[in-house]
Structure 1
Amino acid sequence: MKKIITLFTFVILITSCTGNDKFVQRNSIGKINKVMVVTKASDWNGDLGDKIRNSFGELMVGLPQPEPILSISQVAPNGFGSMMKVSRNVLVIGNGDKEDFFIKKNVYAQPQTIVYVYAKDDEGVIKMFQKHENEIIAAFIASDISMTQNLFKKRKLDESKYKTVQNLGVTLTIPDNFKTVDDTGEFLWLRQHLTSGIAKTGSNNILIYAIPLEDEEKVPENIVSVRDSIGAKYIPGSNPETMHMITEEAYTPFTSEITFNGLKAFETRGKWEVKNDFMAGPFLNYSIVDKKNNRILVFEGFTYAPSVNKRAFMFELEAIAKSMKIQ
């Protein structure tokens, strides 16, 4: 009987330890692209804070309004209590016994990414942050991409009903609030009507298609001409005779080479507009070199959301794009 009572008491202790994350994982909280920085107020108001703000505050390419890559807030270490510890993205930075940099997942909540940066003195902390800043930003963005994709999986569209997706032999996770605009078997256009705030008159859009692979070296320089030809063929304005989507002529898109699910690809961010009309917005284009199938596989997302910030909309399109895999 004594053993039974002891075991029962132990079980009660285990199930009631909500403060011990080894036993209970709380749900994390926090907006997309938002990071909480845990550091002393003196550091935050000094050179270290300036370095963090300048790094995370770099403007996202291709947006019509200036928006930072990541938004940040600060809390002192003694204020990093139970409520703060459930933040999804956390940077803990300051003085320690030695130089150290590491990343941990799901420490106090789930999903959660915490980046730790330490050095022996203030100058060393700044150097450690600068040394790893690209890795730090990439970790937080990847964490939010994964979280967003997991949310979309819970309300995923049935891919089997799209001729183009089936013909191209790809899989991807698209939430079920996207509706079909066009599905020719060679070109897919899906649209999500935005329902919040001023943006309720706008939309998020997805385009998926492929073109023949002719000269791999010329892929990046041909991205604009390819998307303009697709716009002329498939994406008309209010007057199809004189209006169609083009790459905004006054803004040069930014293209970078990346690895996309193991394949060479090019990410292009820029602005689109409708020729002879006043509609415009940002776009995100992934042109993937698929040598096995002798083609360039293209995923493009573009947003029309006048008078509102668009970072969150573009981030959702990026998460959808990065879920795409060739079967």
Structure 2
Amino acid sequence: MVVAKISDWTGDVGAEIRNSFGELQVGLPQPEPILSVSQVAPNGFSSMMKASRNILIINEGDTENFTVKKNVYAKPQTIVYIQAKDDASIIKILQDRKMEIRRIYLDADIDFTQSIFRKSKLDDSQFLTLKNLGLSLTIPDKFNKVDDTGEFLWLRNHLTSGIAKSGSNNILVYAVPLVDKTSVADSIVAIRNKIGKKYIPGSKEGMYMITEKAYTPFTFDATIDGKKAYETRGKWEVKDDFMAGPFLNYTIIDEKNNRLVVFEGFTYAPSVGKRAFLFELEAIAKSMKIQ
């Protein structure tokens, strides 16, 4: 929720906000923004609007200021205040701090989502794979076991509402030996293809999950449980079949145990937006604790 004058919103400041925070999320089949952005004028910033979880307040003033406050009008809530003397100065702050502001809001939403999941979490000690790998995760109880070999865990949430009711949200957890720290990022696709062939079958013999060949995944630096990790977003498909969708992979370098710990989430939800499903999987992944 952006609190800004209509003249700012329809002018260069608004254009910068929409460009900065309406950027499309990579790895999704349909175009969906990383953050959904709406605007209200200061005189319309009513008590109902003040209950919004993430708020950006733009002001003009003599002093330049960038402030983050929590739980001012509601809980949980994150408010970013930006003040500067003119449009050009406000735009410069937005440009310089774009990634920081985006991360502030996304991290707040991760915390909020995890707090919801903690209220109805599975007892993860029931899963042999997590026990053997020394891992814990906050997983909501809407997920059910598909496979748990002791080395590989597959959990699935069947989507039951609306047009997505034939789809599912899926979690995979496994580990592979750490061979070379410098080549981890380059090996992620090969590892997931090998796991897909072994554990994720299609509807007929010879069909299995692979990384979509026509779409190159995006890999970013990440941190999970204080450890160096890589976040990879891309698209999966089933070899020789028509099933496909987005995936989110976290490959974590666990030097203490000389291994790579892998959390992957993938979604199958034809004809609907998938950003929210991937975000739930991200929140679960970032709850991981490694012994």
* TM-score for both structures, normalised by structure 1: 0.88
Query: Helix, strand or coil: the match of 2:138?
Result: coil
Report whether the alignment pairs 1:120 with 2:121.
Answer: no
Query: Helix, strand or coil: the match of 1:228?
Result: helix
Alignment match, 2:232: 268
Give the share of equivalent positions with the same residue, in percent: 69
Q: Which amino acid aligns with 1:219?
A: V
Paired with 1:111 and 1:282, the residues of 2 have a C-alpha distance of 29
Report whether the alignment pairs 1:296 with 2:260.
Answer: yes
Q: Which amino acid aligns with 2:265?
A: G
Alignment match, 1:325: 289
Query: Helix, strand or coil: the match of 1:110?
Result: coil
* TM-score for both structures, normalised by structure 2: 0.99
Q: Which amino acid aligns with 1:216?
A: K
Report whether the alignment pairs 1:312 with 2:276.
Answer: yes
Q: Which amino acid aligns with 2:226?
A: G
Paired with 1:252 and 1:153, the residues of 2 have a C-alpha distance of 34
Q: Which amino acid aligns with 2:275?
A: R
Q: Residue by residue, what CA displacement relative to the aligned partner does 1:134-169 show, whole Å, maximum 9, x if unpaired?
A: 111100000110000000000000111100010110
Counterpart mapping for 1:1-327 below 5 A: 36-239=1-204, 241-327=205-291
How far did residue 123 of structure 1 move? 1.3
Query: Helix, strand or coil: the match of 1:180?
Result: strand
- Cα contact 1:67–1:311 (8 A) shared by 2: yes
Query: Helix, strand or coil: the match of 1:128?
Result: helix
- Cα contact 2:60–2:83 (8 A) shared by 1: yes
How far did residue 128 of structure 1 move? 1.4
How far did residue 258 of structure 1 move? 1.9
Paired with 2:55 and 2:225, the residues of 1 have a C-alpha distance of 27
- Cα contact 2:3–2:42 (8 A) shared by 1: yes
Q: Residue by residue, what CA displacement relative to the aligned partner does 1:180-227 show, whole Å, maximum 9, x if unpaired?
A: 000000000000000121100000000000000011111111100100
Query: Helix, strand or coil: the match of 1:53?
Result: helix
Q: Which amino acid aligns with 1:157?
A: L
Q: Which amino acid aligns with 1:197?
A: G
- Cα contact 1:99–1:128 (8 A) shared by 2: no
- Cα contact 1:287–1:298 (8 A) shared by 2: yes
Paired with 1:83 and 1:182, the residues of 2 have a C-alpha distance of 45
Query: Helix, strand or coil: the match of 1:151?
Result: helix
Query: Helix, strand or coil: the match of 1:312?
Result: helix
Paired with 1:231 and 1:130, the residues of 2 have a C-alpha distance of 40
Paired with 1:301 and 1:122, the residues of 2 have a C-alpha distance of 41
Paired with 1:279 and 1:210, the residues of 2 have a C-alpha distance of 26
Q: Which amino acid aligns with 1:185?
A: G
Q: Residue by residue, what CA displacement relative to the aligned partner does 1:110-129 show, whole Å, maximum 9, x if unpaired?
A: 00000000001121111111
- Cα contact 2:54–2:105 (8 A) shared by 1: yes
Paired with 1:133 and 1:94, the residues of 2 have a C-alpha distance of 17
Paired with 1:287 and 1:253, the residues of 2 have a C-alpha distance of 14
How far did residue 81 of structure 1 move? 1.6
How far did residue 131 of structure 1 move? 1.5
Q: Which amino acid aligns with 2:241?
A: D
Paired with 1:124 and 1:82, the residues of 2 have a C-alpha distance of 29
* Ranges of 4+ aligned residues in structure 1 off by more than 6 Å: none
Q: Residue by residue, what CA displacement relative to the aligned partner does 1:263-316 show, whole Å, maximum 9, x if unpaired?
A: 111110000000010000000000000000000000000000001000000000
Query: Between Structure 1 and Structure 2, whose CA radius of gyration is higher?
Result: 1
Paired with 2:96 and 2:194, the residues of 1 have a C-alpha distance of 42
Structure 1, unaligned stretches of length 5 or more?
1-35
Paired with 1:121 and 1:251, the residues of 2 have a C-alpha distance of 42
Q: Which amino acid aligns with 1:88?
A: R
How many equivalent residue pairs? Answer: 291
- Cα contact 1:94–1:122 (8 A) shared by 2: no
Q: Residue by residue, what CA displacement relative to the aligned partner does 1:84-109 show, whole Å, maximum 9, x if unpaired?
A: 11110000012023100011000000
